[in-house]
Amino acid sequence: MTEIIDGNAVAQDVRDGLADAIDALDDEGVTPSLATVLMSDDPASETYVSMKQQDCEEVGIEAIDIEIDPDAPAEELFDTIDELNADDDVNGILVQMPVPDHVDDREVLRRIDPAKDVDGFHPENVGRLVAGNARYKPCTPHGIQKLLADAGVETEGADAVVVGRSDIVGKPMANLLLQKAEGGNATVTVCHSRTDDLAAKTRQADIVVAAAGVPEMITGDMLSAGTAVIDVGINRVDADTEKGYELVGDVDFESAKESAGAITPVPGGVGPMTRAMLLWNTVKAAGLQEDVSVDLP
């Protein structure tokens, strides 16, 4: 029987564990806080930010909401980041990407104090992750590690194929699976848009993480029996629904589930975990900055 990995349930477990950690911080007079900075009028970005704030409030993290006019000069965003960096009441800073074209997004990532960079995208935090000494693991791959552990998928000695090499999913995912640590010790192959014969790579995998942003590109015939399949993709495709579209993953769920040993659905797989791990990093940040030891789930 193929296990359908329930991301909502695992994310709820993480939130419950975080609620305990937040209580422990509260006993020390500390309330974790996350500042979200939105410099965009893109409806999807607005939705992402409001979901993150709602998540914070539900679990007892203070959410600080900052909006910057997308036409404002880049300096306005940089000054805001500088102020948040200097504010002792702010533990985590998240600038919602993408920022407008006139703002250098690499400079945005560099500007955030690495101690408050709960996305884990600052070059210092990327370096620490690669060196095996992560401070904040990026939320999506960290959530995937938790999902694999919860489903009892052994990474040690496994052949893992990561499809996609982005800075936010593919590369950190490959690095985490490679680490000499729990949830790592896999033999990792990273595939991308120039990979020759992707199916030959995925067919020899025990674990496939699909993060290419191509609707339903991983089909059942590309998988061996028993493979654990993690679908990161969130793609809008035209459909005869009220909204005129539906969301599908990078995996063709119906055919893949015939071969897979375990598989995440879209929605309800990786997405809820990404959200939960942002809270996780924010609680960790509060503990580190306030010098309170917290038990993280």
Q: Under the criterion CB under 6 A, does residue 120 sit at the interface with ligand NAD?
A: no
Q: Which of 55, 113, 117, 119 is catalytic?
A: 119
Looking at beta carbons only, is 38 or 121 nearer to ligand NAD?
121
Q: Annotated binding residue at 4?
A: no
Q: Under the criterion CB under 6 A, does residue 192 sit at the interface with ligand NAD?
A: yes
Task: Give the Cβ contact number of residue 181 at 10 Å.
Answer: 13
Q: Under the criterion CB under 6 A, does residue 174 sit at the interface with ligand NAD?
A: no
Looking at beta carbons only, is 90 or 168 nearer to ligand NAD?
168
Near ligand NAD by CB under 6 A: residue from 72, 214, 247, 288: 214
* 180 noted as active-site residue: no
CA distance 275 to 257: 25
* 257 noted as active-site residue: no
Q: Under the criterion CB under 6 A, does residue 163 sit at the interface with ligand NAD?
A: yes
Strand partners, 246: 237
* 88 noted as active-site residue: no
For ligand NAD (CB under 6 A), the number of binding residues is 25
Alpha helices in the chain (DSSP H): 7-27, 43-59, 74-86, 105-111, 123-130, 139-150, 170-178, 198-203, 253-259, 270-290
Q: Is 63 strand, coil or helix?
A: strand
C-alpha torsion angle, residues 105, 109, 110, 116 (rounded to 10): 160
CA distance 112 to 103: 14
Q: Under the criterion CB under 6 A, does residue 148 sit at the interface with ligand NAD?
A: no
* Site residues (CB under 6 A) for ligand NAD, limited to 23-42: none
Would you name the residues annotated as active-site residues?
Answer: 52, 96, 119
Annotated binding site for NADP(+): 164-166, 234
